A and B are shown apart, each in its own frame.
Chain A
Amino acid sequence: MTSGQADTRAGLMRSTPLRSAPLRRAGRPWTATLLRGLLFLILGLFVLYFTLPLFVMIVTSLKSLEEIRQGSLLGLPQEIELTSWATAWGSACIGVSCHGLRPYFWNSILLVVPAVVISTAIGAINGYALSKWRFPGSDVIFGLMLFGCFVPFQVILLPMAITLGKIGMAGSVSGLILVHVVYGIGFTTLFFRNYYVAVPDELVKAAKIDGAGFLAIFTQIFLPLSIPVMVVTVIWQFTNIWNDFLFGVSFSQGGSQPITVALNNIVNSTTGVKEYNVDMAAAIIAALPTLLVYVVAGKYFIRGLTAGSVKG
């Protein structure tokens, strides 16, 4: 009896909002459209705001110096000229040598690839050990690594310079690689540890009983699981190391400098006329690899950042 009454009462309550719904819907068409329009307008403005600099760079890099001097900043080039790109890549003068960015581009590749690979590999092992092979003090170690992520570049410049000098790696590419690896380990460890924490401990236990040891479990069970977090880490490290200027300018010299330092030297060269088109082309060339990485692996990046657990 009582439950029946409750049912009818609930039914009555349910019917009230239903009746008022059409009223609200009647007011919908124009306000909703207006709001939607406003939303798109704002989004559109943001798109403009972010793409305008890129647009200006591309457009400027395709113009001749003559045209840059006369025309407006936003105007399309009357005649597309690729000579500034060729100059930036192959013959722009950096200091006394005039070989363009090309040698420095390769410098950066030679620097970034090992630095990314090594820091990612160490981060993976660290994350695995700190999440699945805990030992007394492992949490403290992880805490310190986490802390390392928040240490600004500038703070470690001096101690790092001294250290590099002491171990005889000052001014060398391997020294710069070491700097990036050391600085990056905090982040890579954090990424991998947080990813592996979500992997059930019983997987490790089962593998131990199956007879696998520390490394076999890592390579055969954990690494195959790690593709998403690996992508995230690689993108993160690649972008940071490729774009780094401060370490590059501080710890490398002469011909072994990375592309960011070379770009700075091209743009800031004081001799002769300022070649804006070459500067722009050079800047775009320097940024291309990171852009490419995002375009190729961007969707994994988002997925990897949001992916929490591993399903069995």
Chain B
Amino acid sequence: MPVLQSRNLYKDFGAVEVLKDINLSIEAGEFLVLVGPSGCGKSTLLNIVAGLETASAGDILIDGQIVNDVAPKDRDIAMVFQSYALYPTMTVEKNITFGMRVRNVPRREREEALQRVAKLLHIEHLLRRKPSQLSGGQRQRVAMGRALVRRPKLFLFDEPLSNLDAKLRAQMRGEIKQLHKRLGATIVYVTHDQTEAMSLATRIAVMSDGKIVQLGAPQDLYDRPNSIFVADFIGSPAMNFISGRIQARDAKPVFVADHDGAPLALPVDHYDFGGDFGGGVEGDLRDGQELILGIRPEYVTSGAANHHGAVSVDFELVPSLMETNGFDQHIVFEFCGAELVGRFSSKESVEVGRPHRVHLDLSEISLFHAESKVRL
């Protein structure tokens, strides 16, 4: 039985519709990450699951029970907030045990739970301090501790790492992953951070404008985004998009990029059209229909290297911008009136303005309808 389900969930604040028909089902032990642009309704969804907001329509089920009218404290959930929301006048110890004190848990039990969590999160030496005497990372741990003492059915995390610097964030990310593994907890986790989403999630739900636009395993979303929105949102640097049209040549489909000069044809006959493209151009696809081809930067590499077997083309392109990050370099080329970002080894010597041989590996492309922006 799913730990958490949401059925046809709607939420509006007056005239603004914030959530539109959210359907989710989360099994025990899952780590679901919610991503999406700012204001798309992630926090609102989490708050409704927690019972801190009421839905306008639809149901929330925890362990198969409808909990729409159940108070937050009786839902057996724990939540970690973006701002940590530590009680400023209480010590760390009091912060962590507040929930248990409110619920009249016996002292001995409280003490044991506190020690267990303090050890787990390495905050034993901080128990007597007030939140104002802690660093960001330590506060984050305490916030986590407040959730973990409870062993609830479901954890809700609302951007818990967004206030930390990059290094600490990476470290805490690792620790959260460890915690998830060790405790087998069920977690719903909101983040803006690509890396966090990809590395933590067992499944990712991409939200846009109050709707879940795609839900799936991280690698699935990355390899087969179902729309340009998801393709653009997942992955950094973002996927490259080339507009053009589909044409049949010798009964084989080719993608002809919009190009000022001679038409630029890219072979796409290996693409899984899902029955759309049978031999000639037929089915849903018209000959000459406008499409958008998406290709990830890591498939745009230097032509100087050796490549075998892949469906690929080479071009002579002029780099217009480059960005090094030690491990590799992101090179921006001008291509068919748009920017094409390639991911080159940092060993590669590239110079802005000097033409470079660029290799496009077309084995992992995505094709989208130009009009509906939906994947073929």
* Residues of A bordering B, CB below 8 Å: 200, 202-203, 205-212, 216, 220-221, 224-225, 310-312
Minimal beta-carbon separation of A298 from chain B (angstroms):
24
- Given the interface pairs A209-B50, A209-B72, A210-B73, the reply to whether A203 lies near B85 with Cβ below 8 Å is yes
B88 contacts A211, CB within 8 Å? no
Minimal beta-carbon separation of B133 from chain A (angstroms):
11
Comparing B98-106, B174-182, B248-256, B315-323, the segment that makes contact with chain A is B98-106
Distance of A207 Cα from B50 Cα, bound (Å) = 12
Comparing B60-68, B75-83, B265-273, the segment that makes contact with chain A is B75-83
Partner of A209, one of B78, B131, B132: B78
Distance of A210 Cα from B98 Cα, bound (Å) = 7
- Given the interface pairs A202-B81, A312-B139, the reply to whether A209 lies near B86 with Cβ below 8 Å is no
A312 contacts B47, CB within 8 Å? no
| Chain B residues within an 8 Å CB radius of A224 | 89-90
Which residue of the partner chain B has the closest CB to A206? B85
Distance of A312 Cα from B135 Cα, bound (Å) = 11
Chain B residues within 8 Å of chain A by Cβ, number: 28
A310 contacts B87, CB within 8 Å? no
Partner of A205, one of B47, B98, B103: B47
Q: Is B146 an interface residue (CB 8 A)?
A: yes
Could you name 17 residue pairs across A and B whose Cβ atoms are closer than 8 Å?
A200-B83, A202-B81, A203-B87, A203-B88, A206-B146, A207-B87, A208-B73, A209-B77, A210-B98, A210-B99, A211-B102, A212-B99, A221-B89, A225-B89, A311-B132, A312-B85, A312-B88
Partner of B85, one of A202, A212, A225, A311: A202
Minimal beta-carbon separation of B116 from chain A (angstroms):
18
| Chain B residues within an 8 Å CB radius of A311 | 88, 132
Q: Is B52 an interface residue (CB 8 A)?
A: yes
* Residues of B bordering A, CB below 8 Å: 47, 50-52, 71-73, 77-79, 81-90, 98-99, 102-103, 131-132, 139, 146
- Given the interface pairs A221-B89, A224-B89, A310-B88, the reply to whether A211 lies near B83 with Cβ below 8 Å is no
B146 contacts A312, CB within 8 Å? no
| Chain A residues within an 8 Å CB radius of B72 | 205, 208-209
| Chain B residues within an 8 Å CB radius of A202 | 81-83, 85
Distance of A209 Cα from B87 Cα, bound (Å) = 13
Minimal beta-carbon separation of A224 from chain B (angstroms):
4
Minimal beta-carbon separation of B154 from chain A (angstroms):
11
A210 contacts B81, CB within 8 Å? no
